[in-house]
């Protein structure tokens, strides 16, 4: 029997056309009969139900499907996209079909939106009008990760309060010395690589940095993976997003029937993470026993959630603690590390801007150790901020956002049925010339010129790298602090020599990261 790439899981599978068609037709029926498929069950059951997205009949325009690329009868547009570059395919189609179009993955219709005002309206109308896709909640639950990111309604409100409190600005200021220590470790790691002439895998090193910072802030524990050979926690975390991304985009929940090697690896990684997190929880519980006064004013996320769990009538469970520890590490690790990595990549291709960043940092830190900024100085880095904003505009780690309406709704005059997945193209929004002049160009200057001196569009509301509305990223301040501190250290101390810059590609695995991003660092010579 011949082997072919599976349309759903992208793995190599035995292929027999007749069998494939029969399986495709009966899989929804089996899933529903077995009652196994909760996440996609309703969608599967609705194969016969009309999911069409129609023009609002109140507008008198009549019922008609949205525009979109033509697909094939059973698989829709599935064969035309690659999930590891889904955002690029959707952005191409947006250029062709406009601000609202539809595609089909198997039986599922998806609406794809890139209208600025509508995107803000939908993001603001959460959690009551819109939610994250229901299958995200189910997939996160199955991965033991249904924390604040995947929770909805009252569960989300309760968890959001604790997370926001743990990440608020005042705590981050208190915590700044911890970030500075971790930046110092990263600097020493890169100095060793520079002296040895080693290639630096930027994403890998930066993920060690961001996990170390997130664990200190959120759990009060310094795991110091930057100075640990072969740390395990990142290896386990790295298994989560690719599988989550694949499951979210699979029209059928194959993993409930067949465990592919990647699913089995994920199970093992989750077991190992559970052990690591259990050890952290124990450390924090012991700390609270020794210092009960901390319960009155918890200093990190774990202290806060454990204190809440101990309160009478609490609804916090051990599973919820595990899930939120995982959410904070995952949300804080890839996003910030990849944002810094993309920024370094863009700077490496733009020596003038690297020089301007250097001048800013040299002037700012004239009396400090080179590039080591203090908390107050991080507020006075307009050039570095302009460069990182421009990097998040062109290379956002979340170029694509997913929602679904809790009731039938109208978007741009079209009726979108309850439960339809809506992809929002956030990068497409931020790179269109109508929102930002020469939208595709790396031009940090656009963030520095005075509004009255601008010669073209500059629409802040089209720039939403951290989302918007009530579910806006609560880690934004922490992330910006990390970005500033690392870029200051890097620009002040190193020359960045890209290695095969042309082969760096965007890859989507829940977040969008650069592949093949290796550099050589040289110690900067001061004149
Ligand atoms: C450059 C770095 C980062 C970027 C670009 C980023 C981006 C985002 C985006 C786009 C969302 C979805 C927002 C929405 O639905 O409107 C989000 C949510 C979230 N982020 Fe971040 N993030 C970053 C860093 C962090 C960090 C450092 C943490 C914490 C350690 C964090 C924690 C979270 C959490 C907990 C949520 C879920 C919020 C909710 O559902 O209520 N993020 N982030």
Measured from the Cβ of residue 485, the count of other Cβ atoms closer than 10 Å reads 29
pLDDT confidence bin for 23, thresholds 50/70/90:
very low
Report domain extents, the chain.
1-133+399-431
Please tell me the distance between residue 380's alpha carbon and the centre of ligand 1 in angstroms: 24
Please state the rounded mean pLDDT for residues 50-66: 45
Is residue 479 predicted with pLDDT exceeding 60?
yes
Q: State the average pLDDT over residues 439-453.
A: 96
Are 358 and 490 spatial neighbours (Cβ–Cβ below 8 Å)? Answer: no
Q: Within 13 Å of residue 271, how many CA atoms lie on the same side as its CB?
A: 6
Residue 226 has pLDDT above 80, yes or no: yes
Other CB atoms within 10 A of residue 434 CB:
12
Nearest ligand 1 atom to the CA of 132 is 15
The CATH T-level fold of domain 1-133+399-431 is 3.30.43
Is residue 215 lining ligand 1, measured as CB closer than 6 Å?
no
Ligand 1 center to 466 CA (angstroms): 6
- Mean pLDDT across the stretch 132-159? 92
What is the H or E stretch that residue 401 is in? Answer: strand 400-405
What integer pLDDT is reported at residue 27 of this predicted model? 47
Q: Which atom of ligand 1 is nearest to the CA of 396?
A: 5
Q: How far apart are CA 507 and CA 2, in angstroms?
A: 29
pLDDT at 62 over 60: no
Does the CA dihedral 355-492-201-247 come out positive or negative?
negative
The reported pLDDT for the residue numbered 107 is: 81
Q: Which residue has the least CA distance to atom 9 on ligand 1?
A: 466
470 lines ligand 1 (CB under 6 A): no
Mean predicted confidence (pLDDT) in 346-356: 95
57 — pLDDT class (breaks 50, 70, 90)? very low
CB of 149 within 6 A of ligand 1: the answer is yes
Tell me which of 466, 471, 483 to substitute to probe ligand 1's pocket, judged by most ligand atoms within 8 Å of the beta carbon: 466
Ligand 1 centroid–CA 352 distance in Å is 31
C-alpha 139/C-alpha 29 separation (Å) is 20
**Could you tell me which residues come within 8 angstroms of residue 160 by beta carbon, excluding any fewer than 6 positions away?**
148, 470, 471, 474
User: pLDDT digit string (tens) for 235-287?
Assistant: 888 888 888 888 887 777 889 888 899 899 999 999 998 898 888 899 999 99
Residue nearest to atom 16 of ligand 1 (CA): 467
Q: Is a pLDDT exceeding 90 seen at residue 96?
A: yes
Atom 8 in ligand 1: residue holding the nearest Cα: 466
Identify the residue whose C-alpha is closest to ligand 1 atom 40. 149
Cβ atoms of 63 and 57 within 8 Å: the answer is yes
pLDDT tier at 527, thresholds 50, 70, 90: low
Q: How would residue 64 be classed by pLDDT, with cut points 50, 70 and 90?
A: very low
Mean pLDDT of 140-146: 91
What does the pLDDT average to over 47-67?
45
Does ligand 1 have an atom closer than 6 angstroms to the CB of 234?
no
Instruction: Give me the long-range contacts of 437-446 (CB less than 8 A, separation at least 24).
Output: 440/394, 442/346, 442/349, 442/350, 442/390, 442/394, 443/390, 444/353, 444/383, 444/386, 444/387, 444/389, 444/390, 445/386, 446/386, 446/390
Cα–Cα dist 430/399, whole Å: 10
- The answer on pLDDT for 50 being more than 90 is no
Lowest mean per-residue pLDDT among 24-33, 55-64, 112-121, 316-325: 55-64
Q: What is the pLDDT of residue 231?
A: 65
Q: For a pLDDT cut of 90, what percent of the chain falls above it?
A: 59
pLDDT surpasses 70 at 60: no
39 contacts 134 by C-beta, under 8 angstroms? yes
- The confidence band for 313, taking pLDDT boundaries of 50, 70 and 90, is confident
Q: Does the pLDDT of residue 25 top 80, yes or no?
A: no
Q: pLDDT band for position 457 (50/70/90)? A: very high
Residue 12 has pLDDT above 70, yes or no: no
- For the Cβ of 467 lying below 6 angstroms from any atom of ligand 1, the answer is yes
How many other C-beta atoms can be found within 10 angstroms of the C-beta atom of residue 36? 14
Question: How many angstroms is it from 474 CA to the middle of ligand 1?
Answer: 6
| Tokens standing for residue 363 | 């002037």
């Amino acid at each position: 029997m011949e082997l072919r790439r599976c349309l759903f899981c992208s793995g190599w599978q035995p292929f027999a056309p007749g069998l494939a068609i029969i399986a495709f037709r009966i899989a929804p029926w089996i899933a529903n009969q077995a009652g196994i498929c909760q996440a996609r069950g309703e969608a599967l059951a609705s194969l016969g139900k009309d999911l069409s997205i129609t023009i609002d009949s109140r507008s008198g325009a009549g019922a008609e499907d949205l525009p979109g690329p033509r697909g094939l009868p059973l698989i829709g547009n599935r064969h035309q996209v690659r999930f590891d570059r889904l955002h690029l395919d959707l952005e191409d189609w947006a250029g062709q079909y406009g601000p609202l179009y539809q595609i089909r993955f198997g039986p599922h219709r998806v609406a794809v939106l890139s209208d600025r005002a509508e995107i803000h309206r939908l993001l603001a109308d959460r959690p009551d009008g819109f939610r994250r896709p229901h299958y995200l909640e189910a997939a996160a639950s199955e991965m033991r990760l249904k924390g604040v990111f995947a929770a909805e309604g009252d569960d989300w409100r309760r968890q959001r309060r604790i997370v926001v409190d743990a990440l608020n600005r005042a705590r981050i200021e208190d915590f700044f010395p911890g970030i500075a220590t971790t930046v110092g470790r990263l600097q020493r790691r890169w100095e060793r690589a520079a002296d040895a002439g080693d290639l630096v895998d930027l994403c890998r090193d930066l993920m060690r940095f961001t996990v170390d910072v997130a664990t200190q802030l959120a759990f009060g524990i310094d795991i110091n993976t930057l100075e640990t050979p072969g740390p395990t926690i990142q290896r386990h975390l790295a298994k989560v997003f690719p599988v989550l991304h694949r499951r979210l985009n699979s029209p059928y929940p194959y993993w409930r029937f067949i465990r592919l090697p990647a699913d089995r690896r994920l199970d093992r990684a989750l077991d190992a993470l559970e052990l690591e997190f259990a050890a952290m929880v124990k450390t924090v519980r012991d700390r609270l026993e020794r210092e009960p006064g901390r319960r009155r004013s918890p200093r990190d996320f774990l202290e806060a959630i454990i204190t809440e769990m101990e309160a009478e009538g609490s609804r916090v469970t051990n599973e919820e603690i595990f899930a939120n520890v995982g959410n904070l590490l995952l949300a804080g690790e890839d996003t910030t590390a990849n944002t810094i990595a993309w920024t370094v990549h863009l700077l490496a291709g733009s020596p003038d801007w690297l020089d301007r960043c250097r001048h800013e940092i040299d002037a700012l830190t004239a009396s400090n150790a080179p590039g080591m900024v203090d908390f107050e100085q991080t507020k006075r880095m307009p050039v570095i901020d302009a460069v990182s904003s421009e990097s998040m505009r062109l290379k956002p780690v979340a170029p694509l956002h997913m929602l679904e309406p809790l009731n039938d709704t109208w978007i741009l005059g079209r009726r979108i049925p309850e439960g339809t997945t809506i992809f929002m193209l956030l990068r497409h929004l931020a790179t269109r010339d109508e929102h930002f002049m020469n939208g595709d160009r790396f031009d940090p200057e656009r963030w520095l010129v005075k509004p009255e001196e601008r010669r073209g569009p500059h629409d802040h509301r089209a720039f939403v790298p951290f989302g918007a509305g009530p579910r806006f990223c609560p880690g934004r301040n922490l992330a910006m602090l990390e970005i500033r501190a690392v870029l200051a250290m890097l620009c002040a101390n190193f020359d960045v020599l890209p290695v095969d810059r042309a082969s760096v590609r965007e890859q989507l695995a829940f977040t969008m990261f650069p592949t093949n991003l290796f550099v050589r660092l040289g110690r900067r010579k001061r004149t």
